[in-house]
Structure formats: structure tokens, C-alpha cells
Amino acid sequence: MNNYQKHLQQIKELTGRPTLLLHVCCGVCSVYPLVYLNDHFDITVYFSNSNIYPYEEFLRRLGALNQYLSVMKEKDIKVIVGRYDYDEFDKFLSLNKDEPEGGKRCYSCYERRMEEAFSYAHEYHYDYCSTVMSISNRKNADYINEIGEKLEKKYPDVKYLYADFKKGDGITLNERMNKELGLYHQNYCGCKYSKRD
């Protein structure tokens, strides 16, 4: 098992403020990662999550993200909202609909959303790309970082920022900050299969 927290701490050695496209899955998962990263990067949030079912839930999570960013408005963090197409995404997810939560279906979902972010980062010349998904206790940071490593090879002009945001008290700080802010907190990952389970 890799020490992704050690990888992440290397951002303290960066010079200047490189650009970072940060895939965000929801408001609640973005709080601590954005605080941690903001001193080191010029951040653009990429909210592209066609896995979220139903559309009203997608809007609730985007609303929580915007609520949080309004508190951070002095930080000048930009937001890109990707096209929402659950029907198309569900055709892809349904190939593994009977997989348990945390299995192949989830891995392929992380990979697809992270690739969307990497493709955007490549097209618009960002220095780095990453995701906040590793903050969740329900998500496998090894899976997420394996995908990031693979995508960095596919898009070599964009560096992948390795992270396990739940480490180093990240999860505790994230939960505390969320309670203080009163952000909407969902009770399932996103797709209709995770809602079912």
C-alpha cells in the first residue's frame, strides 16, 4: 500500500502556483481538500458527475458545492459544470449492476469520471489534475490513485496529484468543517445501484 499522504505533502516544495483541475463529486467531499490545496495551486473545480441519480440529487450536490465556494469566495476558485447525462452513463454502469458496492462498477465509475477530468485538463492546458474522491471512507484510495497514474501516462502533459485526503486527520477535519457549515450530506455514493444498496 502506497503512502499517498506523503506524496501529497510534496506540494509544499512547489514553486509558484501551478494550475490544478480538481474533479469534485459533491460539496461535502470538497471542503478539506480545497482548504488544503488552495495555498499551493490556482484551482478550477470540475463538477462532472453523470453517475448521480436522480438529477435532483445532482443539483443538491452542486448546490452544496456552490454554498461552500460562496464561503470561500475570496479564494477565487472557478467552477466548470460538465454535461449531465445519466441515461448514457447508466448504460455503462449497468454492465456491472450486480457488483457489490466498492467493486468493479465503482472502479469503472471513478475511472470514467477521472478520465473526463483529465481530458479537459489536457485540452485546456492545466498543469495538474486530481480528484477529491479519496476523502471518502467508502472509496478506495489505492484504486483512485492507480487510475490517476494510468491517466497521467495517457495524458503526459498533465501531472496527476496523488492524494489520500482522509489521512493526516483529513477526514476528521472535513467532517468538523461540514458540520460547522451545515452543508447537505448525501447518504449514498451517487448511482441508482449505490442508492439501492
pLDDT value of position 20: 98
In DSSP notation, the chain reads ---HHHHHHGGGG--S--EEEEE-S-HHHHHHHHHHHHTT-EEEEEE--TT-SSHHHHHHHHHHHHHHHHHTGGG--EEEEPPP-HHHHHHHHGGGTTSPTTSHHHHHHHHHHHHHHHHHHHHTT-SEEEESGGGSTTS-HHHHHHHHHHHHHHSTTSEE----TTTTTHHHHHHHHHHHHT----SS-SSHHHHH-
pLDDT value of position 8: 85
Whole-structure pTM value: 0.95
Which comes out higher in pLDDT, residue 39 or 74? Answer: 39
Q: Which amino acid is at 83?
A: R
pLDDT band at 73 (very low <50, low <70, confident <90, very high): low
Percent of the chain with pLDDT over 70: 98
pLDDT value of position 6: 79
Overall average pLDDT of the 99-127 stretch: 96
pLDDT value of position 74: 60
As a whole number, the mean pLDDT across the chain is: 93
pLDDT tens digits for 143-195?
Answer: 999 999 999 999 999 999 999 999 989 989 999 999 999 999 999 999 999 99
Size (the chain), residues: 197
For the chain, domain boundaries: 16-196
Question: So what CATH class is 16-196?
Answer: alpha beta
pLDDT value of position 7: 79
